[in-house]
Amino acid sequence: MADSDELRAFSKDLTAAGSGIASKVLPVVHKGAGKIKAQLRREMQSSNHFKGITRSIDYSMKFGTGSRAGGGAGAIEAEIGPRKGKPGSLANIAYFGGARGGGTVPDPKLALEAEIPHFEKALGDVLEGLLE
């Protein structure tokens, strides 16, 4: 466990890195979101019944404050999944099922969980580069 002097030094280093962090983190978030999107599209495309939803799967980026995920000032987030409306309106049935079936496409959380170790490593590399 780090002592208070190490934490203060780390905090000072992050403050000194300043806006350089956002410009380095943005490509990491884009790449991670793109990889998750690609996995979701592959999984949807492999479904005999729901492959038409594939083209609706995309991602959008969010910056700053006030997002639903709770990001603060300077937050960079990606929202990944099917767009609402046709054909994406059937995605909930594809993923989770309904009274008449469905639920045959893997839960999108699995794609997120598969990307987490790669995303964390890439963020660690960015921070390491900024703090050297």
Question: How high is the pLDDT of residue 42?
Answer: 98
Instruction: Report residues of the chain scoring pLDDT below 50.
Output: 1-2, 67, 69
**Per-residue pLDDT, 40:** 98
Cα separation, 14 vs 33, whole angstroms: 25
Number of domains in the chain: 1
Extended beta strands in the chain, E state: 57-64, 75-82
Burial of 68 (C-beta count, 10 Å sphere; 0-12/13-18/19+): exposed
Asked if residue 47 belongs to a domain, the reply is yes
What domain range includes position 63? 28-131
pLDDT at 83: 93
Q: Would residue 20 count as lying in a domain?
A: no
Residue with tokens 């592959």: 42
Whether 33 contacts 119, CB under 8 Å: no
Please tell me the predicted confidence (pLDDT) of residue 67.
47
Closest CA to 33 of 131, 108, 125: 108
Domain membership flag for residue 104 = yes
Residue 75 confidence (pLDDT):
78
Task: Report if residue 2 sits inside a domain.
Answer: no
Token pair 């729901």 in the structure block, residue: 50
DSSP 29: H
pTM value? Answer: 0.79
> Residue 1 has what pLDDT?
43
In a domain, 100, yes or no: yes
The answer to whether residue 68 is domain-embedded is yes
